[in-house]
Amino acid sequence: RDLGAAYRLQLGKAVGEIVPADATKGHAIRAFHDAAPYAGRRAIFLGDDRTDEIAFASVNEDGGVSVRIGDGETVAGRRLADPAAVRALIAAWAEGAPIDPDTIPAA
């Protein structure tokens, strides 16, 4: 309350965050997307929390790839079962496997 209307409490799966009232993960991703060296690239966003749904929607609108980790309703276009699947995917990419988001299962 002492911070006033400029900030809000955002509750997530296992977290509470004090964030600027108008800030979302979608805004942050778009800010990166508009700046070098990310301008003109396709975003890949992975998340497991209801607070990630706004980011998924933003990434989808911009032609990127949204990936929900775990169960639950989602607007993400893709889904990985659990953190182990995320680690395996990133490890494969780091070891030289083609970075092809279309191989990630549909949500």
Q: Are the CB atoms for 6 and 21 separated by under 8 Å?
A: yes
What digits encode the pLDDT tens for the residues 54-65? Answer: 899 999 999 999
Does the pLDDT at position 74 exceed 80?
Answer: yes
- What domains are there in the chain, each with its CATH number? 24-103 (3.40.50.1000)
Query: What's the chain's length in residues?
Result: 107
> Around Cβ 85, how many Cβ atoms within 10 Å?
16
DSSP state of 62: T
Residue 19: its H or E element = strand 16-20
Instruction: Name the pTM for this structure.
Output: 0.83
**Distance between CA atoms of 19 and 34, rounded to whole angstroms?**
22
